[in-house]
Amino acid sequence: MIHSASNIDQGPGFYVALHRALAALFEGERDPIANTANMAALVFQEMERVSWAGFYFRRGAELVLGPFQGPPACIRIPFGEGVCGQAARSGKILRVEDVQAFPGHIACDPRARSELVIPLSVAGSVVGVFDLDSHVPGRFHESDEDGLATCVRLLEGAVDWPESRP
Ligand code: SME
């Protein structure tokens, strides 16, 4: 575990330590599957009250499940649908305090209550999303948006994306 300060739970240094740990994992490796798998594992391991962390990648008109940690999840999400599809279509971070009150939310896990989705962009195009779920309503805050968006920027620069497809 990262022994440093944290997000909400552990103090303000949490994301600094997470970014350092992520950069160390990416060091010397540019494979998209390897680096997205390790990023999902690191974030899931280090963040409290997160029930699922992982990737969906754009495949034409759909998002398709990629490396993740947590229970088995929905495999295909139409682009523009659900929290993930809406974030992918807009290219903007989507933070949902209560997924039960979010029109179009796709419930892979009936216990999921809050969600944070960060689009992944390569050469100006959205190629996928990084998605986090929690069983706790309102789990994610603006500080998580900022901290995890930096993780996604590190990933975007640490991978050779084949034809914009991982
Ligand atoms: N809830 C998401 C689907 C993906 S899972 O949470 C892993 C959505 O509405 O897009």
- Is the pLDDT at 144 greater than 60? The verdict is yes
Mutate to test the pocket of ligand 1, among 108, 116, 129 (most ligand atoms within 8 A of CB): 108
Residue 2 belongs to a domain: no
Instruction: State the pLDDT confidence band at 162, using cuts at 50, 70 and 90.
Output: confident
Distance 115 CA to ligand 1 centre (A): 8
Domain membership flag for residue 104: yes
Q: Is 132 in the pocket of ligand 1 (CB under 6 A)?
A: no
Q: What is the CATH number of the domain that holds 152?
A: 3.30.450.40
The total domain count for the chain is: 1
- Parent domain of 18: 11-157
What is the C-alpha separation between 140 and 161, in angstroms, rounded? 28
Domain annotation covers residue 163: no
Judge if the beta carbon of residue 115 lies within 6 A of ligand 1: yes
Mean pLDDT of 88-95: 98
- Residue 10 pLDDT: 59
Asked whether residue 27 is assigned to any structural domain, the reply reads yes
> What does the mean pLDDT of the chain come to?
92
**Residue 164, in any domain of the structure:** no
Note whether residue 110 is domain-resident: yes
Identify whether the C-beta of residue 155 lies closer than 8 Å to the C-beta of residue 21. no
What separation in Å is there between the alpha carbon of 82 and the centre of ligand 1? 6
- Residue 1, in any domain of the structure: no
Read off the pLDDT band of 109 (50, 70, 90): very high
Q: Using one digit for the tens of pLDDT, what is the confidence trace for 21-60?
A: 999 999 999 999 999 999 999 999 999 999 999 999 999 9
Q: Please, are residues 7 and 14 in contact by the beta-carbon 8 Å criterion?
A: yes
- In a domain, residue 4? The reply is no
Q: What is the DSSP string of the chain?
A: ---S--STTT-TTHHHHHHHHHHHHHTT---HHHHHHHHHHHHHHHSTT--EEEEEEEETTEEEEEEEESS---SEEETT-HHHHHHHHHTS-EEES-GGGSTT---SSTT--EEEEEEEEETTEEEEEEEEEESSTT---HHHHHHHHHHHHHHHHT---GGG--
Q: State in Å: Cα 108 to ligand 1 middle.
A: 6
Lowest mean pLDDT: which of 67-76, 135-144, 154-163?
A: 154-163
